[in-house]
A and B are shown apart, each in its own frame.
Chain A
């Protein structure tokens, strides 16, 4: 009798903590069974490479959300970075200079977000949305919507998005490196601890002597930085500066972080959660495309997945700290 009760609780706990992982495994198995060529080395590496950009941006977003914030500017910022990066690269042929400019743009967008949201106290949703809109306007004014192509791009540029180390695509290695860094920073450093404290209770954090505005600013800078890096990879993969290429990131990243917050029953955004969330979203993108499901139907699926995950989390009694 007693035993049985314990069993029920532990199953409940397992579902609560690892529901998202189980969901990812479930989707993986289904696609492997249903879709031809899904479970092949070639496709799996492609899947990982596709998800690398999304995942890196999601890591940046995880910092923002762990501090209780939200960043709506990422999609348009990614496009802006791609365009400016491409223009500098075309004109100077210097990868490193272009790369620095790209990082600078991302950080600048993050800084503007931070000033508006952390220091002037605009609601995150509104401040970062408006910044995204401005970024959209600027990149369209610069390019009139046209992509920027390269004649003879430097080798290192091509390598970033398309290269391999051994059998593993380079962006995948980058993604794994950032996964480790993000996990480490969030769980083992003062920065991570303070960011979670601020997300948990900004007022109490202030009363404990934490400079709340400063740390919130850092999260937006990290988000901007991650957008820059993902955007450089994307530009390399597409072999062109694409003003509109980053736009899907916003919806996908939001889906990812919601999934991330359902991981481990903590209700808190975390790096591993972001990774698994990105895997789920990318498997859906990849598998449904291979099944010839119409492109726009994938949006419907993503919406349904997010709603189900969050609903399940709520039913399982997780405190979901997802706020705007």
Chain B
């Protein structure tokens, strides 16, 4: 709209790269940001977005390349130096003190003071003025005396943004700012960001939600496998174009599963499940069937696993396993034949300071026990067999699991469930952070379990593996099932578009 279309460039990166242990997670990134612009960065998990943000905000030093601010090459050694040069990040996690009020939270660490009789005391009036000024910019009305715990998530997010604005800023980076917000909260936040744009600053916006990216961005850059796949103007961008740049990974595995034939019995069914995060979930799993659950971060994938197993409270819903109704509760779920390989291997899967043997026997201890006494010899034999069968690289059943690699730790968790008999196996992000060989072993394992007639739920944020391994893919968005696909007929792009949402399914 401005007569002179060349806006002033405020930040750019030249050939920016980051290497960890010989792996380039970010490579040759050239990006520029202009004043008064919202420049979005999209990409799948692991595409390099968060590494990029961490470099700009001074958390990581780049392994190669340059950062240029206002025409000057800069280097920062820590977050503080990046902030002093005007780069501010609104993080995904909200770090506010619940029992401080809005104003106190905004000024934590940068309190304004006045001098009364040679003693420095807090200048509340000045802080209130400054805070009001900032809230004006954002177009938000908010009582500065309100305690944070009384605010909803979107308002907390806005307080978090205000913290940034009372300080100097030229560039503001938003990292997934709408995560965990409901529809109205998301609207409010997008408006706030649009208001902020009028302040002649550069905004970098990182989000999984392509709809909102298309709505507010001036330009959109797609990352894939640590590389810049191209930058588009808002006018030329569509969901399809963006998705086509996001997918098409370097080939990672040749594994391709075939469906199990001739098994039709329903193993598991959930009817009208509602929880705090999930709304109206229904599905069935048959013997030998592997279903995939896809969705972006925060869509409710893990919540399904937690509800079925009994970790999260269920508001309403019916659960059936082998035709029998059950109330989800971890100890009962295990007895009914449900196995869960949780998302967080170290926090939820393992007792890290215990040995391999004890971690393997943890869920089905009854098997090796008579009158509550464990048959330690039998327990050890089982562990040894599973170590061999799953090719767990360990010095033996007595090695403490914290000393194993990620892939081998995951094998221990899987071994735990293989040591007993279950009907439904839930694999929640089982391949996260493990090497290709270990991934393929897990795919084979899932296939074998399906052939033994078990029902499998495979939750993953990595679409290609769901396509290769599952018989059916359920797509979730905002806690609901929004679509279902046949991975042998539908394409990755089709599924991805459903995940990211062409239609507004609020």
Contacts and interface: CB of A to CB of B under 8 A. Distances in A.
Given A190-B369, A201-B351, A208 B374 contact: no
Interface extent on B, as a size class? 20 to 34
A204 B348 contact: yes
B465 to A, nearest CB: 22
B362 interface: yes
A207 B312 CA distance: 11
B354 A211 contact: no
A200 B416 CA distance: 17
Contact of B352 (A191, A201, A205, A206): A201
B413 to A, nearest CB: 9
B303 to A, nearest CB: 15
Interface string B334-354: 110000101000011111111
A205 B347 CA distance: 10
B86 interface: no
B374 A207 contact: no
A191 B365 CA distance: 10
Given A197-B351, A204-B348, A188 B331 contact: no
Contacts of A201: 347, 350-352
A188 B330 contact: no
A192 B349 CA distance: 19
Nearest to B331: A211
B354 A200 contact: yes
Interface in B337-381: 340, 342, 347-354, 358, 361-363, 365-366, 369, 372-374, 376
Contacts, number: 72
Most chain A C-beta atoms within 10 Å of own C-beta, residue among B349, B351, B354, B374: B351
B330 A211 contact: yes
A191 B372 CA distance: 7
A190 B347 contact: no
Contact of A207 (B348, B353, B372): B348
A204 B365 contact: no
B418 to A, nearest CB: 14
A309 B416 CA distance: 37
B330 A204 contact: no
B351 A207 contact: no
Contacts of B363: 208-209
B50 interface: no
Contacts of B122: none
Contacts of A205: 351, 362
Given A188-B374, A189-B374, A194 B365 contact: yes
28 contacts: A188-B376, A189-B372, A189-B374, A190-B365, A190-B373, A190-B374, A191-B372, A193-B374, A196-B351, A196-B358, A197-B354, A197-B358, A200-B351, A200-B354, A201-B347, A204-B350, A205-B351, A208-B330, A208-B334, A208-B416, A209-B330, A209-B335, A209-B363, A210-B331, A210-B362, A211-B330, A211-B331, A319-B353
Interface of B: 309, 311, 330-331, 333-335, 340, 342, 347-354, 358, 361-363, 365-366, 369, 372-374, 376, 416
